[in-house]
Amino acid sequence: MPLYEYKGVSSAGKDTKGVIEADSSKTARARLKQKGVYTTTLKVKAKGAKEKKSGPTLSFGSGVKMKNFTLMNRQLATLVRARIPLDEALSALIDQTDDAKLKTILSQIRSSVNEGQSLAKSVRAFPKLFTPMHCSMIAAGEASGNLDLVLQRLADFSEGQLELRNKVLGAMAYPAFMGLAGVGITIFLFAFAVPKITEVFAGSNMTLPDLTRIMIAISEIMSAHWLTIVLALIGSFSLFQWYINTGAGRAKWDAFSLKLPVYGKLRRMVAISRFARTLSTLVGSGIQVLEAIDIVKDVVGNTVIRQALVASRESIREGKSIAAPMKESGQFPPILTHMIAVGERTGELEQMLNVVADAYDAQVDVAITSMTKLLEPLMILVMGGIITLVALSIFMPMLQLNNLSGV
């Protein structure tokens, strides 16, 4: 059935737009009316041309929001577990989601499934949205007849990763905001406030304190070149972003960041947690260890640990145990390699990895809380120090003027 792009007004009086699948425009308008949408424009979506044009924008990062994708995983797992036929489950998801891009992708996946393709092959058409991990697990679930269990695992994994991501971003948001606020306040004080106040001392012949002369010199530079300074800061940040997105830059930054006092420890714990949770999910879904490690190396989020996993994979291929090459790399904590070794001996690798992932998730929570508590007073202290220095540089000569006038 063709896809129709529509614009209209909801029953609440709000503008709305999206994509709907129907056998005719009349049916599309009728279905929209049932949903309480009064259509203003309706046109057929050109399938081939539109896919080619919008393909790159269907990425996980920019095309579909992570929370919408995570919710879709949970809903699909619930429907399949309830023994709803796959095509009906996909139809329910299409009707449920408000994300136009996700609706389009699901419609195309459903069409592929209705044509006889497997779900795994259908989702592989969207590699920016469905990662190799998703595709491999779905394929293993279909092959073993345990698709409902595999989808449940994927839903649990996606929700856990979303929660972890939100925790890390939440922890970084406060110091980033305080840092930007501090830079903004500093530029404002030196470029605009200090020059106005120091005009009072311009006509006096008094000898200004060293601190005041330094502040005036900084103020004159910033007042004359504040726009250049702002542009330089923005340019430096953009250049840094470009550099760490290159292969060599990313490797050096990842290696350096792991050595930082607090942030480095947090990054390593997040990477280990992702590794353990993802490998556990893959192994528990029936994926072979070598294939699982090949998938996991791309989700840990750190080049140094990724290279250690690549080297470990080659050693495992040659017949070594999983734990031995990881221990030799020096990039994995002893508790992880020990638990993996125990899991290999007892045949409970999945359970051991889950124990490690749970432990590191708890440590990430503690580290984030500790870092936030440490950064908050530190940022306040830095900003307070700058304001105090500016205030002293102004009040010291003012006291001298008062003493002179008193004499």
**Closest CA relative to residue 354, chosen from 273, 269, 248:** 273
48 contact partners, CB below 8 Å, separation of at least 6: none
Concatenate the DSSP letters of all residues of 236-271 into one string. HHHHHHHHHTSHHHHHHHHHHHTTSTTHHHHHHHHH
Cα separation, 352 vs 343, in Å, equals 6
Beta partners for residue 44, in sequence order: 4
Q: Hey, what are 89's tokens?
A: 């489950």
Cα separation, 140 vs 166, in Å, equals 29
Q: What's the farthest any 2 CA atoms get from each other in the chain?
A: 99
Handedness of CA 377, 383, 386, 392 (dihedral sign): negative
Q: Are residues 12 and 63 in the same domain?
A: no
User: What is the domain count for the chain?
Assistant: 3
Domain final residue, candidates 130, 165, 194: 130
The answer to whether residue 141 sits within a structural domain is no
The answer to whether residue 135 sits within a structural domain is no
Query: What CATH number has the domain bearing residue 363?
Result: 1.20.81.30
Segment 306-318 shows an average pLDDT of 87
Segment 63-81 shows an average pLDDT of 85
pLDDT above 90: residue 154: no
Q: 201: which DSSP letter?
A: G
More confident residue, 374 or 254: 254
More confident residue, 308 or 29: 308
pLDDT above 60: residue 53: no
Residue 178 — very low, low, confident or very high, per pLDDT cuts 50/70/90? Answer: confident
Q: Residue 79 — left, alpha, or beta (φ > 0 → left; ψ -120 to 50 → alpha)?
A: alpha
pLDDT above 50: residue 77: yes
pLDDT above 50: residue 62: no
Beta partners for residue 5, in sequence order: 19, 43
pLDDT above 60: residue 363: yes
Q: Are residues 102 and 193 in the same domain?
A: no
Q: Are residues 31 and 68 in the same domain?
A: no
Q: Are residues 292 and 240 in the same domain?
A: yes
Residue 172's pLDDT is: 72
Segment 23-47 shows an average pLDDT of 73
Cα separation, 208 vs 173, in Å, equals 41
Residue 344's pLDDT is: 87
pLDDT above 80: residue 371: no
Q: Are residues 27 and 69 in the same domain?
A: no
- Helix ranges (H only) for 245-347 are 247-257, 263-284, 289-296, 303-317, 323-329, 334-346
**Closest CA relative to residue 331, chosen from 268, 274, 257:** 268
Domain final residue, candidates 64, 98, 130: 130
Cα separation, 225 vs 209, in Å, equals 24
Segment 310-320 shows an average pLDDT of 85
Domain of 232, in residue numbers = 149-407
Q: Are residues 398 and 293 in the same domain?
A: yes
* Lowest-pLDDT range of 26-35, 52-61, 101-110, 124-133: 52-61
pLDDT per position as a tens digit, 137-146: 888 888 778 8
Q: Are residues 83 and 110 in the same domain?
A: yes
The answer to whether residue 138 sits within a structural domain is no
pLDDT above 80: residue 394: no
* Lowest-pLDDT range of 36-40, 167-171, 202-206: 202-206
Cα separation, 396 vs 212, in Å, equals 8
Residue 23 — very low, low, confident or very high, per pLDDT cuts 50/70/90? Answer: low
Kindly tell me the burial class for residue 306, based on how many C-beta atoms sit within 10 Å of its own C-beta (0-12, 13-18, 19 or more): buried
* For the ranges 54-68, 124-138, 273-287, 337-351, the one whose mean pLDDT is highest: 337-351
pLDDT above 90: residue 251: no
pLDDT per position as a tens digit, 201-240: 666 666 777 887 887 788 778 777 878 888 998 999 899 9
167 contact partners, CB below 8 Å, separation of at least 6: 364, 365, 368
Residue 235's pLDDT is: 93
Instruction: Yes or no: say if 11 and 22 are a contact pair by the CB < 8 Å rule.
Output: no
Concatenate the DSSP letters of all residues of 158-195 into one string. HHHHHHHHHHHHHHHHHHHHHHHHHHHHHHHIIIIIHH
Residue 203's pLDDT is: 60
Cα separation, 282 vs 136, in Å, equals 8
- Three-point CA angle 275, 271, 266, nearest 5°: 150
Q: Are residues 86 and 11 in the same domain?
A: no
Per cent of the chain over pLDDT 70 is 89
The answer to whether residue 136 sits within a structural domain is no
**Which residue reads 């994927």 in tokens?**
154
The answer to whether residue 142 sits within a structural domain is no
* For the ranges 55-59, 87-91, 162-166, the one whose mean pLDDT is highest: 87-91
